[in-house]
Amino acid sequence: MRLPIYQVDAFTDSVFGGNPAAVVPLERWLPDPLLTAIAAENNLSETAFLVPAGDGFELRWFTPTVEVDLCGHATLASAFVVRALLRPGLGRVAFTTRKAGTLTVEQEGDRLVLDFPSRPPGPVDADPALFPGLGGAAPLEVLAARDYLVLYPDEAAVRALEPDFRILNHLDRAVIVTAPGSGGVDFVSRFFAPTHGIDEDPVTGSAHCTLVPYWAKRLGRARLEARQISRRGGALSCELAGDRVRMAGGAALYLEGVIHVPDAG
């Protein structure tokens, strides 16, 4: 069986930046073990699979080890593929998901804008392994939504972290670390998810579903500029809009081709 595949760098204006995602359009859903095997073979933080559904698409995301309930950069990459290659000129792409509701992506200028659910953090009893797993300076605060949200005093402290992923792999959640930004950036972050097969994710849209409501409340404004300070790095222009988070970023096509997989029958 031959399937088209695209690799798109998301939350960047050029290739070799942002977060790479594979996008595999399908005519129908294949068995989950096959989807998992494709994602593992791609060995990217996420592979997105999409199937036509009415005027839009149903969308699912897989890391190299598990299916996840929400993924920002692979949604951005999928919308880029739809608008540029599958349905050129389509103004608004609607994705139906299994656990995150309907997600939409629209073009605004030279960027794509994601409309995602807001997931504000709240108090949590942190796993005792969290702090030794992160290493570095002691954090100022720990909250949680889907993931831990760990606040540090400044960008230097976030950059200096050298996590022990063997320890973090035993946590029940992924970990967002964040601090105030500078030079026109409101906040910075990093994201660690070894429990999902991703030690450090380059740019994580879903993490901003928690980061944006946190920083909007802390800074007293809805529009925010964010930067994820992984090795590749990525920039997001964000807005808290009620119970939704809007995230804008660019995308660049790196690869298109065909993969050969066993016939699913």
Q: What element of type H or E holds 188?
A: strand 187-193
The CB density around residue 41, as the number of other CB atoms within 10 Å, is 13
- Is residue 92 classed as helix, strand or coil in its secondary structure? strand
Separation of alpha carbons 158 and 138, rounded Å: 11
Separation of alpha carbons 50 and 29, rounded Å: 8
Q: What is the 3-state secondary structure (H, E, C) of 4-56?
A: EEEEEEECCCCCCCCEEEEEEECCCCCCHHHHHHHHHHHCCCCEEEEEEECCE
The CB density around residue 29, as the number of other CB atoms within 10 Å, is 13
Per the listing, tokens 């005093």 go with 153
First to last CA, the chain: 10
Among the listed residues 191, 200, 222, 31, the one whose alpha carbon sits nearest the alpha carbon of residue 118: 222
Q: Is 101 left (phi over 0), alpha (psi -120 to 50) or beta?
A: left
Q: Which residues pair with 142 in a beta bridge?
A: 150
Q: Which of 41, 46, 67, 108 is catalytic?
A: 46
Separation of alpha carbons 98 and 28, rounded Å: 15
Catalytic site includes residue 46: yes
Q: Supply the residues annotated as catalytic.
A: 46
